[in-house]
Amino acid sequence: MDTKRLILFVVFSFSILLLWDSWQRKHVPVSEVTTQQDASVPSSQKLNTADSKTITPDSNFKLETGTRIKVATDLYQIEIDTIGGDIRRLLLNNHLADNAQDKFVLLDDAQKPLLYVAQSGLIGNDLPTHKSTFTSDKTNYVLENGQNHLDVKLNYKNQDVEIAKIISFDRGSYQIGVRYEITNHG
């Protein structure tokens, strides 16, 4: 008896659905969607390539460089410049380049014509920017076997303010942490 009721319920539900669809087609007006081309956006056919300006890299541009601090972890090799404490070069150890001999270069400030640098700095008077010169105790840092965390400490001193820019690396992680420790003596 339950099977008969279930079959009747399904047939009844399907009939109601068909009736509702038929009613929608007859009584609900269909709105036509029209598209208009925005006059402020020129079409690609109207563009004249002879009149358009091309951006060319400035061949005279030279990025300031200081001492390079080399960092080696399990996942990458990094070069940090003391000018700005910026990451200037990053090679991925576990990913090969096209020729399968070299490591994949993710960032490189010497690659022409493109320039990629991860810059950071602080905003404020007498605070270090991406152009300030930092110092470091060492020029080579290595994440040794059994070591899970590595901090590279870059120091900056200006009158009454001492700032430590600490770049952190963790084993098995591509994340690079940057934090500042500021000591105000004034």
d(CA 154, CA 134): 6
Per-residue pLDDT band for 136 (boundaries 50, 70, 90) equals very high
Given a contact cutoff of 8 angstroms between Cβ atoms, the answer to whether 147 and 49 are in contact is no
Cβ proximity of 161 and 127 under 8 Å: yes
First vs last Cα of the chain: how many Å apart? 91
The H or E element spanning position 141 is strand 140-142
89, 107 contact by CB (below 8 A): yes
- Ordered domains of the chain (ranges, CATH): 68-124+131-184 (2.70.98.90)
Q: What Cα–Cα distance (Å) separates residue 16 from each residue in 11, 12, 29?
A: 9, 6, 21
pLDDT in tens, 43-96: 555 545 544 455 555 555 667 788 899 999 998 889 998 988 888 888 888 876
CA 90 to each of CA 98, 101, 118, 137: distance values in angstroms, whole numbers, following the listed order: 16, 16, 10, 21
Q: Look at 181 and 132; give whichever has higher pLDDT.
A: 181
Question: 54 or 130: which carries more pLDDT confidence?
Answer: 130
Q: What is the pLDDT of residue 126?
A: 73
